[in-house]
Structure formats: structure tokens, C-alpha cells
Amino acid sequence: MDANTNEKLSSSYAPFNAGEPNGKEMENCVELNLGSKRWTDIPCDERLQTFCHLPARTRFKIRGLPYRIGLDAEYSLNTDRLHGDFYTLVGYTSTWLYHDKTLGHWRLDLRTDKETWAITNSSDYPLGLRQWMINSTEFSGLSKLNIDVCDDQSEYNCNDGSCVPIIDRQHAFWCQLRTIRKMLN
């Protein structure tokens, strides 16, 4: 495949060449012929140029953590891993967030020793400002943490977890309006 093409290529866009795929178990990779723009299945040990399409991942940010070196400030959604009805949020380095179905709360665990660092009661994803019970050697007690997907440069995070454009100087008003709308719905 040619990595330098600017064309958007996908399997739905490019059907197979005539007679392909024909490799059955022997040909489990594909090459793209840029002339015909059609796929051919080939053995996976053939070395060709490649291209990758990586969709941007939503970054969940946790704000208001008491100090602790090594705790994650950002998480991404792991859609391969379901805990009950919920996907897991995996921290970039040391922690993960998941729903404990048995106890009915969300846990922030250290991945290394499976120590539970904090919990919060929530029957949904724990987005927005919430009380977390933290239990660690450095800090123990209730703490307000906010989890959101707001962009630090261009958005302000509301207490309900939603984001409003920072350019809007009345952001507090829009946050309140969102809260009122939620209450009315």
C-alpha cells in the first residue's frame, strides 16, 4: 500500500480485484493497487508500504486530585473492556477507572497493585464534579474531583461534566443554563 496517497481509502471504498480474495487461510493481509484502487489478499509476510488511520481518542481529564506523584491526569476509553454495562477508563500511566457492579460504585485503582485509591457512587459514568472517597497513605477523606472531556485551550468545564467554549465569557451562565435544562428534562 502506498502511504503517500492523500486519498481516503477504506475496505468499503475499494472492492477486491477480480478473482480476489482467493488466498483463503494463506493470505490474511491485503494490498491495494493504486491503479485499479482495488484490494488483493496476500500473505502477511510480504513487506509493503503501509498506512494507518488512527481516530482521535477522546481524552478524559480528572481535575482536583490531591497531590500524588504518578497518578494519571488523563484517561482514554477502553471499548474492549466492559465492566457490567460500562467501559473502562484507562489512565495513561498507572491507574484505571471502572464500575464495580457488585458494590455499585466507580473505583479508581492503581494498576500495579490493584489498590483502590478512590471510589464514588454513580450509576452512570462519573462525569462532572463529584465527591470521591479517597483512601491512600498520603490523603484520606472526601474530595471533589471533576472528570470531563473539555479541551483545556478552548473550553471551560461545567460542574455537570459538559464543556462550553471559553470564548464565551458568560460561561458560568451557560453552565447554569445546562443544569436548569437538565433539571427540567
Among 5, 11, 22, 93, binds Ca ion (CB under 5 A): 22
Q: Min. distance of Cβ 10 from Ca ion in angstroms?
A: 19
Count the residues of the shown chain that bind Ca ion, applying the rule CB under 5 A. 5
Nearest CB to Ca ion, comparing residues 15 and 165: 15
Helices and strands per DSSP (H, E), number in the chain: 1, 12
Gap between the Cα atoms of 69 and 111, Å rounded: 14
Q: Min. distance of Cβ 53 from Ca ion in angstroms?
A: 23
Among 23, 88, 139, 176, binds Ca ion (CB under 5 A): 23
Gap between the Cα atoms of 157 and 165, Å rounded: 9
Amino acid symbol at 85: D
Q: Min. distance of Cβ 33 from Ca ion in angstroms?
A: 12
Which residue(s) pair with 99 in the sheet? 106
Terminal CA-CA length for the chain: 51
Element (H or E) spanning 78, and its range?
strand 74-83
Under rule CB under 5 A, which residues in 27-46 are in contact with Ca ion?
27, 41
Interacting stretch for Ca ion, rule CB under 5 A, among 16-24, 43-51, 73-81, 109-117?
A: 16-24
Which residues here bind Ca ion, judged by CB under 5 A? 20, 22-23, 27, 41
